[in-house]
Structure 1
Amino acid sequence: MDAAFFTAWLAECAAVVAAHRDRLTELDAAIGDADHGANLTRGFTAIQEAAVPARAPADDPTPTPAPTSGSPLPPGKVVSAAGSLLIRKVGGASGPLYGTALRSMGQALGDAPQVSPADLATALEAGVVAVERLGKAAVGDKTMIDALRPAAAALALAVQDGVKLEEALDRAAAAAEAGARATAPLRARKGRASYLGERSEGHEDPGAASAALLVRALHTVAARW
């Protein structure tokens, strides 16, 4: 996987978030601020609209990912730059959380021009750990971690077993989707939804739902790569 793969992933993320914007907003309306879909759409659209060239200006240490497959940046820098952009552009909790996840993934990938499935698994784990630390959340708290933690575990196990990338990411996406669905009966213990107490029960967590979409986007790109 090279920079073009991850640029394609970010483009797929923008597409799926836009396609599911209303659903994410509806989920957030039930237990949050009703802005999750709009915020993520704005953030990933900004990534797609980021200016070329992808190299950072001399006075700006944070590069901007180019929306083309010819980015001169290594994959790690493309992902890190996208994370920085999300932090700057997206309000609420989702910008800092997703931005931190992407930046941590990019840092884990480093400057290598090519990424192996094992590298990707390591990077996803780093992203999940960063979100856990920032949000002080764990599985069962009814957050995006309920989708991301199972996804990271499934990907790591699949890679360890020598499963091909497409199948490994399909397993990760399925684990994320199952984790997101499993948040519905939970009572929220973190974030704005936690203030609702028992009223947060019966609703799928919007952050977990969007996290599952982004992991599925990875599989979608791998399937056509």
Structure 2
Amino acid sequence: MPIFLIFLALLAACAPLPVEQAAGTPAARVARESLASLHAHGAPVGAGVAVGGTLLLTNAHVMRQAGGQVLLRRAADGVETEGWLVASSPAMDLALLRMPEGFLRPAHLAPDFPEAGDPVWALGPEGLGRGLAPGRVERPWVRMRRFGPGFTARLGALMGFSGGPVVDREGRVTGLTTALPGGGEDQLLAMVTGVDLAGLADGGRRQVFILDIREAIEEARRIAPPLP
């Protein structure tokens, strides 16, 4: 393995956990109570957020990458449990998982769409070198084909942040980190190196599509009713 990749791997291993990085920010409570890293094949494949006593939301493409079964690692203390796929949406990039009762607490959800310029904080899984990415809303409403309705923000989310919660200034979940519009070259480089080099270097300039949490909840109710 090239020396610079070994260095990045060691950097990721030594990085503070997402819950530690979120301390003192509006994302702290979500990281502490409602966030899980999703692991498969011995590596993080994405993140998820609790929306019910036994239910968690993530992206459908995360579950495809995982092969349909994941290990959930609680951000607060590293405790692990299995996650079971309940349903995937045919209309948006959304998957609904079941977890043991009490493993996580449901996050508080934002009641309205954000506005352009609003600050947001994206949470990702541990093991990427960065578990928190602050940014600002760019386009408050957009629909991406194959991904669903949501908004875009400029923030430093890495590709492994997929399915993780995006939190507003009131500490409420407003969406799920889902896609990089026009990020083909970045994705190819990440596949070749195994590390999201462009994301680590890009700071908060990266454009990220965020699946709206209100639309996601309605879709989750539709594909797997009833949702508590």
Between Structure 1 and Structure 2, the one with more helix by share is 1
